[in-house]
Structure 1
């Protein structure tokens, strides 16, 4: 489980359907563990929330700067791969599989 915070600019390709991102990595976190227990799983969820807080803080600071120079606002796009989290929940047997899928869909 992990996350990456990027500061990027979007650019359009020659075709209208293609776009790209150009930028730098601002912060990243990655933790891999073969044995997942409840405490580690809780810390992983806390780590994801911390990543969102860092991204919001960086974006708020950049918005203050861009507002003063009349530059368009920046958006936060936060992508999380929840499949690993899903697999670990199922391994632990905490939640039934169908119910967990419904809960993850509800998050989006």
Structure 2
């Protein structure tokens, strides 16, 4: 008998940097590629953060839109969960990606 499970992958968080581990995907392109690898290995949900070019966390809706579009293109059927984590903004900026209508969104009220 098999036990079904759902695999949720967090490709990158808002804290890890390339200086911590050179394999940490920071750019949207790196994240799409890494998410696709996880999808091919069986992941069903992608928990997503985005970063500025310097690696700092952000809630930039344009970056989230590019990431969401890339995941939907390369990982058909994968559930996209966008993070509204507090390290990437405050107030309304924190949920600035919600108009993109992700399949899911996370909310951490404190670390």
Pick the TM interval, shorter chain.
0.3 to 0.5
Larger helix percent = 1
- Bigger radius of gyration among the two: 1
Provide TM-score, normalisation by structure 2: 0.32
Larger strand percent = 1
